Amino acid sequence: MRKTRWGAVAVVAAAAIALTGCGRTSDAGPGAAEAGTIGDAKAEGTLTMWAMGAEGEALPEFVKTFEEANPGVTVDVTPVPWDAAYSKFQTAIAGGNTPDLAMVGSTWMADFGDALQTVPTDLSTDGIFPGAIDSTKIDDRATGVPWYVDTRVLYYRTDVAAQAGWNQAPTTWDELMQMAADMQSKGGAEYGIRLPSGNDSFQGNLWMPWSNGAELENGSKWTLDTPETVEALDYYQSFYTEGIANPAADRSAGAQEADFVSGTTPMFIDGPAFIGLLNDLGGEGFGDKISTAVLPAKESSTSFSGGANLAVFDDSKNATSAWKLVQWLTEPETQAAWYEATGDRPAVQDAWKSDALASSKTLAAFGTQLETAQSVPAVTTWVQVAAAGDAMLEKIRLGQQSPADGLKELQATADQLGLG
């Protein structure tokens, strides 16, 4: 049975896979051994680790605490740019020169899973958000441990909402449509809401099919053309046909935030990084006008789960100690400290009880949303299917195709690609 997940690095993964071809990398190793154990002894020896982006820059200082608790170990972290990481992983796997462990974008797990060890049986993942756990499962084998997570929720301007007669967030699809319309007619907004569009728009709008009970695949084939998904995309299209959302909205960097701060479009759906961006752009006191809420429900309120995982390579020369570092990085106290150091949202639910996270009114919705968030299918053809979904939504948004016709075409494309 295949599991599902989403990743924070879909754009990078899409570019990399487009260059390297579809399907699981032919450079992958022969497959991981059965899950072992790590025991209670302290970590020792030298550990080599790769990490991307801001995480790669912050880790060298952060892991000193682990080294102090394990005096016999040295952790050598190599920061790797995101745009070079995918090909670097491929080259290392092909040459047998992988580090002991690495941060792996959750959308990459299927591509590199054959070169990753199975999580030890005595490394507990209890308490990690279920959608994040799903991102590590390749044919029911756990190939890593979730490190940090992301999801998307509803952002809205409380002052515009109040002017439109709303003093709380919408909880149903009908309420979302009505609140957005009221923000136009009563709140002075040009458009009531901005929905995800352009690259990754299919992933960005999956909350609609999922919240309507749709499944993307059944373990043996794609199940994209279903009544549940047709109904969900009819709902999506109605925001544009009713003039509530702008089909030609500016998609350039910073446009979404600018429209929100100006009040031109006082609602959108996106991830937690926008909390800081909006506060910075809006200036002093603007944070009081921002609220977040879980996505409105139909059958459920289901967003998607992304982020990054920690994985140990088959060729690791110090695997037991590598898994001990993974274990430490995913303890609740460590996760809370990592959030304070970097702003990465913890994959471990108990870490959300820390003062730094629990005191944030805008972050609370993300923690709640992650409890039901799902991941996209952990298959090597996902990026191609999602790109075809992006193209379909472009036509639907512009009124060039009906959801029913678009999904028939998408299903045919997905059937040709298979599940990988």
Domain count, the chain: 2
Beta carbons of 399 and 241 less than 8 angstroms apart: yes
Section 111-135 average pLDDT: 96
Residue 192 near residue 245 (C-beta atoms within 8 A): yes
Q: How far apart are CA 393 and CA 80, in angstroms?
A: 33
Residue with tokens 């609740």: 332
Give Cβ neighbours of residue 68 (< 8 Å, ≥ 6 apart): none
Give tens-digit pLDDT for 191-222: 999 999 999 999 999 999 999 999 999 999 99
Evaluate whether residue 410 is within a structural domain: yes
Same domain, 327 and 296: no
The reply to whether 95 and 182 lie within a common domain is no
Q: Which of 8-22, 72-86, 160-174 has the lowest mean pLDDT?
A: 8-22
Per-residue pLDDT at 139? 85
Beta-carbon count within 10 A of 415 CB: 12
Domain encompassing residue 287: 153-303+379-417
Regarding whether 91 and 197 lie in a shared domain, the answer is no
Helix%, strand%, coil% for the chain, nearest 5: 45, 15, 40
Residue 3 lies in a domain: no
Dihedral angle, C-alpha 382, 339, 87, 11, nearest 10 °: 40
For 70-92, what is the mean pLDDT?
97
Sign of the CA dihedral with 32 first, then 12, 107, and 21 last: negative
Domain assignment present for residue 1? The answer is no
173 and 229, same structural domain?
A: yes
Residue 400 lies in a domain: yes
- CATH label of the domain that carries residue 187: 3.40.190.10
Residues 321 and 388 in one domain: no
Helix (H, G, I), strand (E, B) or coil at 289: helix
The percent of residues above 90 in pLDDT, for the chain, comes to: 89
pLDDT in tens, 294-315: 999 999 999 989 999 999 999 9
